[in-house]
Amino acid sequence: MSIQAPRKTRLWIWFLWVACFLAVWAWIVLGQGLWATAVAHWPIAAAMAVGSYAAGSTPMGGGTVGFPILVLLFGQPAELGRDFSFAVQSIGMTSAAIFILARRQPLAWAMLQGALAGSLVGTPLGILFLAPHVPPTWIKLVFAIVWGSFGLLHLRRIGEIASHHGMTEFDERWDFRVGLAVGLFAGSTVASVTGVGIDMVLYTVLVLLCRADLKVAIPSSVVVMAFASLVGIATKALSGGVEPGVFENWIAAAPVVLFGAPLGVFVVEKLGRKPTLFFVACLCVGQLVWAFSQEWNSLGFAGRIGAVAAVGACLLGFERLRTYGGVLVGEARRRNSSRRATADEKIR
């Protein structure tokens, strides 16, 4: 596993990004007379204050909060929640990613590079060819099932996940191929349908399959979600498919997430990740229960069975990854022992 070692920080890059964005945002809002519109959408800005902190401190993009707030609480269309997730994360997650890179935080570079390449292809394909055919009810349920399962995983395994140090040493070409598969699969499916999720999939692979330290897994997941969000919103904009209402919510929330996500990156190093992960895991499970309660009657018998089975399939997939990760740990230890034995033989 290739992990970038911390070096001298270059925070001036992040401050330059902040100054440039605020100048453009001020021109849009004040120069174009949109201040009243931004103020009118203050509830989403307030919600994203929490969402952006979670985006920087956990493997959950800001859309993890923005989507259910807009769709489940405010009753907006699921398509709007998805597009807003891409739009707001293109600022918040990008800001957090620049902050992470400027601080030279450790990253799983080989797997991350594969995931970036995969998402560059998978996300536009999913947006153009899969997402338009997914009914709004199932957009909500896909979001609820994936993140609810993720929350259940952490409630069960949070102690184990938080105890990992370093990463399982394996072949970097293998890491790249796994990352590429993650980017293609998650970008073309869950991320293209809900606007979030590729970060969670990469994080899950890192912590369950590679036994990665949270200090490596979470920043890596932030970077890939930032990139996928930029690709996603660019694809939507170029194809003329951005939902009405996204821009109005975006101008209200953008300056909040600009600082909130990097704040999450910074504060969580002081407070620790375990309490934050536990809190967000509870939120994920709560929104799963909420979504099921709202949509249960409309699903019918087959839909209910399918929804419950999907949660079980996600949990089973997580456990299979964890089991295979244990096999890789054993293989890595045997390989390292063999190398040490060979080195000892040469010394003799």
The DSSP secondary structure of 248-268, one letter per residue, reads HHHHHHHHHHHHHHHHHHHHH
Taking CA atoms, 219 is separated from 61, 93, 95, 106, 166, in Å, by 11, 10, 12, 8, 14
Cβ neighbourhood burial of 343 (10 Å; 0-12, 13-18, 19+):
exposed
Cα gap 198→49, rounded to integer Å: 22
Spatial contact of 336 and 169, defined as CB atoms under 8 Å apart: yes
Share of the chain above pLDDT 70, in %: 89
CB-based contacts of 310: which residues, under 8 Å, 6+ apart? 141, 145
The pLDDT value recorded for residue 272 is 66
Q: Which region among 204-208, 211-215, 330-334 has the lowest average model confidence (pLDDT)?
A: 330-334
Cα gap 201→148, rounded to integer Å: 13
The pLDDT value recorded for residue 152 is 92
Spatial contact of 252 and 41, defined as CB atoms under 8 Å apart: yes
324-328 — which CB contacts under 8 Å span 24+ positions? 324/209, 325/168, 325/208, 325/209, 325/210, 325/211, 328/168, 328/170, 328/209, 328/210
Cα gap 229→257, rounded to integer Å: 14
Domain ranges of the chain: 12-35+42-340
Q: Among positive and negative, which fits the CA dihedral 334, 340, 346, 348?
A: negative
Taking CA atoms, 271 is separated from 33, 57, 106, 221, 276, in Å, by 41, 10, 18, 20, 9
Closest CA to 124 of 20, 61, 198: 198
Q: Among positive and negative, which fits the CA dihedral 202, 204, 208, 211?
A: positive
The pLDDT value recorded for residue 253 is 93
Spatial contact of 183 and 122, defined as CB atoms under 8 Å apart: yes
Helices (DSSP H) in 187-272: which residue ranges? Answer: 192-194, 198-204, 214-238, 246-271
H/E element, 133: none
Taking CA atoms, 191 is separated from 70, 84, 240, 268, in Å, by 17, 12, 19, 25
Closest CA to 191 of 166, 151, 226: 226
The pLDDT value recorded for residue 160 is 85
Taking CA atoms, 138 is separated from 48, 114, 195, 241, in Å, by 24, 29, 14, 19
Question: pLDDT digits over 109-162, tens only?
Answer: 999 999 999 999 999 999 999 999 988 888 888 888 988 998 898 888 888 888
Question: pLDDT digits over 10-29, tens only?
Answer: 899 999 999 999 999 999 99
Cα gap 62→221, rounded to integer Å: 12
